[in-house]
Structure 1
Amino acid sequence: MHKKQSGRRRAVVPPRPWRVALVAAALGAVAPVQAQVTLDVIGPHEYDLPVDFKPFNVFVQYATFQDGDRQWDGDGDRRRAARTRTIVGLSKYVRFWTPESNPKIGLAYEIIVPEVGVRNSDTRSSASGIGDPITGFAAWYKPSANSTLGFQTFMQVPVGDQDIGGGDVWKNLSSVFWDVQFGKLTYTADAGFVFFGESTAADATPGTLFHTNHRLGYQIDDAIEPFIALDYERQQGWKNRAAGVKLPESHETTAGIGVMFKYYGNQSITVRYSRGIDGESHGATDSLNLKYAYAW
């Protein structure tokens, strides 16, 4: 699929379009409501990226349905919480290209707009709106024809609706990512940090968050690929300036299973269920996740 490079710049047909559609799906995506592990939206082939290609575009629409009636307490036990149902949509546009000066490097720039709806069955209240938008870039290269290594960094801008948790804290999401293909077996993953600015409303600074996400898939054929997912994050405690105290750290590990469907050569749909298996002082994940990707 990836031809050997020559010294002269030449146009190379990009890899199968369904792959590039999947690729854009996770670069920088993070839900505005912190209930699930950061970047757990990624799927198989998420970082199976091309080099030396003609520029192209990708649109991705995510949808996450989170059942929030459980949470991890400070002792690591799953406890009853307010009966909330959260729906998060992420609408994303990505532009891919390679620089003329070095076609062996791939680049991408993207813009993501979150849409959030939250309903609390206990209080019979609800809220919805646009979350903090996300924008940034990614760069990568291919150590071999069947592997990819790259870096991505994104800013989440605090201009979203206050009712759904936006509009106060700047965030920077930076991570390394990699992908390796072993015939029908596929492995894609990332590891990185989220850095937060100060919260004026809370008079506190959120602690730095570490996350890592892993997807192991098996290609049954060109159209169907089941996979398993493992996600983890740990956040340092918030530092309250006025009280001079630091809130406890929080963490969660989740496991999931899903399947990816590729069709029409340039589109895909991915379905995944994820559930928290360990945590502390963190919302307990219990979610159904959908993703539609279209490349042109």
Structure 2
Amino acid sequence: MRAGLSLAMNVAGLGLLLGLCALGASLYPSSEAQASGIPYASNRPQSFQFSSDFTEPYNSVGQEFEYNNDRQRFDDHGNKVAGPGTETWVGLTSLLHYWKMDGLPNTGFIASITLPEIAVRGNGTRVSGLGDPLVGGLVWYNPTPLRTIGMQAYVQLPTGADSVSSDTYALWPSLFYNEWLGKVNIDLLVGAIIRGEGPHHTDPGDTGHANLRVGYNIVDRPTYQVTPFVSADYQKTFSSEDRNNNTIEFSDSNETALGAGVLFQLKPGVQKVFNQKMWDQVSIHYSKGVEGRNTTVTDGLFVQFWHYW
């Protein structure tokens, strides 16, 4: 793998949780309101592989499509039972800007904005609209050409459509690590969602998450690369409280999901029509919830497209 390869951070991989916290109460009886989805569930290998080996600032745009079949949920005892019977569709459109600062070797920065598009259909439910955007960025450091470490933070702004907005400000901080070991790529993210006051003076519970991707580069040609991968995701959401500081029943949740997919990459210059600066990517993978409590079971397909100029 080329040491100078610089790939996109998976800002778009924020997962179904981005807008679905707001939908929990509408999809379940009031005593079983639950958040759905694992943050960054759509990550791929090399999501957080960056190179500081560039001279001029550049940009990238990403489009993600997420689909989840909501036919099952984990109950309070961890059993899989009938879910809301809906289908959830999420689009995430991200714009990123990359730059460096003089005097900070092996270091780079990204500023970004992500806009969700959300739709839930089925079983008498028909909800859609633009979700709450996230704005922020990250900083990374390359101890070696094949290793990246860094941190990121995003603010979720409750400005989406009323039907899908969380009505809650939130901070999304996390730490990331990426490294190549021969043909194996390891990509790890550990973070949290820290929520402010929710609708009707409620206190939504915060969320912790971890996301691991392990890919193996089976094809490394001069013009394209193919990397199958496996995924493991976990989220833990703590209990929410109502305006009287009483714990809301069934509001705490957790889930572990496992999956597999493949990442395709195209070398700069191959697409003659576009002013391509870095390796463009297309990834697709499937993930399934294997253990959890008080949340819809992940049964989802994730697709991403990234272009650099």
Which residue pairs with 1:268 in the alignment? 281
Question: Size of the alignment, in residue pairs?
Answer: 276
Is 1:144 aligned to 2:147, yes or no? no
Gaps of 5+ in 2: 22-35, 269-278
What amino acid does structure 2 have at the position aligned with 1:29? L
Which residue pairs with 1:174 in the alignment? 173
What amino acid does structure 2 have at the position aligned with 1:250? S
**TM-superposition CA deviations, 1:201-238 (whole Å, max 9, x none):** 3x311111100000000001132110000000001100
Aligned ranges 1:37-186 → 2 under 5 Å: 37-53=38-54, 54-120=56-122, 122-123=123-124, 125-164=125-164, 166-186=165-185
SS of the residue 2:19 aligns to: coil
Tell me if structure 2 keeps the 8 A contact 1:216–1:228: yes
| Alpha-carbon spacing, 1:65–1:28, altered in 2? closer, same or farther (3 Å) | closer
The 1-side partners of 2:197 and 2:112 are apart by 25
- Normalized against structure 2, the TM-score is what? 0.85
Deviates more, 1:278-287 or 1:29-38: 29-38
What amino acid does structure 2 have at the position aligned with 1:55? P
State the 1:130 CA deviation.
0.2
What amino acid does structure 1 have at the position aligned with 2:304? K
The 2-side partners of 1:215 and 1:140 are apart by 18
**TM-superposition CA deviations, 1:78-97 (whole Å, max 9, x none):** 11012111110000000011
Tell me if structure 2 keeps the 8 A contact 1:26–1:41: no
Aligned ranges 1:167-246 → 2 under 5 Å: 167-201=166-200, 203-222=201-220, 223-242=225-244, 244-246=246-248
What amino acid does structure 1 have at the position aligned with 2:11? A
SS of the residue 1:205 aligns to: coil
The 1-side partners of 2:151 and 2:97 are apart by 16
Tell me the C-alpha RMSD between the 2 structures: 1.6
Identity %: 27
SS of the residue 1:162 aligns to: coil
SS of the residue 1:239 aligns to: coil
State the 1:242 CA deviation.
2.5
The 1-side partners of 2:166 and 2:236 are apart by 23
Which residue pairs with 1:11 in the alignment? none
The 2-side partners of 1:232 and 1:167 are apart by 21
The 1-side partners of 2:12 and 2:108 are apart by 13
Tell me if structure 2 keeps the 8 A contact 1:146–1:181: yes
- Normalized against structure 1, the TM-score is what? 0.89
Tell me if structure 1 keeps the 8 A contact 2:141–2:150: yes
| Alpha-carbon spacing, 1:243–1:105, altered in 2? closer, same or farther (3 Å) | closer
The 1-side partners of 2:72 and 2:290 are apart by 12
The 1-side partners of 2:236 and 2:245 are apart by 23
Deviates more, 1:203-212 or 1:168-177: 203-212
**TM-superposition CA deviations, 1:33-74 (whole Å, max 9, x none):** 242211112111111111142211110000001101111000
The 2-side partners of 1:186 and 1:104 are apart by 20
| Alpha-carbon spacing, 1:229–1:28, altered in 2? closer, same or farther (3 Å) | closer
| Alpha-carbon spacing, 1:52–1:100, altered in 2? closer, same or farther (3 Å) | farther
Aligned ranges 1:245-260 → 2 under 5 Å: 245-248=247-250, 249-260=252-263
Gaps of 5+ in 1: 3-14
